[in-house]
Chain A
Amino acid sequence: MSITANTLRHAALRARDAAALAQDELNAADGRMGDGDTGVMLRRLFEAIAAAIPARENDIGLVFQACAKACASGTGSSLGTLVTVAMMTLAKATKGRGEIGWDELGGLLASVRDQMMARGGAKLGDKTIVDIIDAVAVAVMPCRTREEVVAAARKEARDTLDAYRDRPNKLGRARMFGDKTVGLDDPGMLAFSRLLAAVAA
Chain B
Amino acid sequence: MKKLMNSPDAFVDEMLAGLVAAHPSLVHEGRVVCRAGGARKGKVGIVSGGGAGHLPLFTGYVGEGLLDACAVGDVFAGPSVDSCVQAIHTADGERGVLRLYGNYGGDRMNFDLAGEMVEMDGIKTTTVLGTDDIASAAPEEGTRRRGVAGIIYAYKIAGAKAETGADLAEVTATAQAAVDAARTIGVALSPCQIPGAAKATFEIGPDEIEMGMGIHGEPGIWRDKLRSADDVADEMVRRLLADPVASPSGRVSVLVNSLGATPLEELFIVYRRVAALLKKEGLTIVRPLVGHYVTSMEMAGLSISLIHLDAEREKLLAAPCACPFWRV
User: Chain A interface (Cβ within 8 Å of chain B)?
Assistant: 24, 27-28, 31, 34-37, 39-41, 44, 72-82, 84-85, 119-121, 171-173, 176-178, 180
Contact = CB atoms under 8 A, between A and B. Distances in A.
24 contacts: A31-B198, A36-B194, A36-B199, A36-B200, A36-B201, A37-B75, A41-B77, A72-B80, A74-B80, A75-B74, A76-B73, A76-B74, A76-B81, A76-B84, A76-B107, A77-B73, A77-B74, A77-B106, A79-B106, A81-B78, A119-B109, A171-B105, A173-B218, A176-B219
Contacts of A41: 74, 77
Contacts of A171: 105
Per DSSP, chain A at the interface is: helix
B196 interface: yes
Nearest to B144: A175
A136 to B, nearest CB: 22
B63 interface: no
Nearest to B79: A76
Given A40-B8, A44-B9, A81 B194 contact: no
A16 to B, nearest CB: 16
B3 to A, nearest CB: 14
A121 B105 CA distance: 9
B190 interface: no
Interface centre among B51, B76, B84, B216 (most CB of A within 10 A): B76
Nearest to A122: B105
Contacts of A77: 73-74, 77-78, 106
B112 A119 contact: yes
B105 A78 contact: yes
B197 interface: yes
A80 B106 contact: yes
A39 to B, nearest CB: 8
Contact of B78 (A24, A27, A78, A180): A78
B147 interface: no
Nearest to A43: B196
A79 B74 CA distance: 13
B82 interface: yes
Nearest to B192: A35
Nearest to B203: A31
B75 A120 contact: no
Given A35-B217, A37-B194, A37-B196, A81 B201 contact: no
Interface in B29-88: 51, 71, 73-84
B78 A31 contact: no
A-B pairs, top 10 by smallest CB distance, nearest first, are: A78-B106, A76-B78, A77-B77, A76-B73, A78-B105, A73-B82, A36-B197, A27-B198, A72-B81, A76-B79
Chain B: interface size category:
35 or more
B136 interface: yes
B105 to A, nearest CB: 4
A72 B197 contact: no
Interface in B4-21: 8-9
Contacts of B194: 35-37, 40
A79 B199 CA distance: 20
B198 A28 contact: yes
Contacts of B106: 76-81
B110 interface: yes
Contacts of A72: 80-82, 113
A31 B80 contact: no
Contact of A27 (B76, B81, B84, B197): B197
B109 A36 contact: no
A173 B80 contact: no
B80 A73 contact: yes
Contact of A35 (B76, B82, B83, B84): B76
Nearest to B114: A72
Interface centre among A31, A75, A76, A119 (most CB of B within 10 A): A76
A176 B74 contact: no
A24 B218 contact: no
B218 A35 contact: no
Contacts of A176: 136, 214, 218-219
A31 B74 contact: no
Contacts of A73: 80-83
A108 B164 CA distance: 50
A80 B107 CA distance: 11
Interface string B213-234: 0101111000000000000000
Contact of B110 (A79, A81, A173, A178): A81
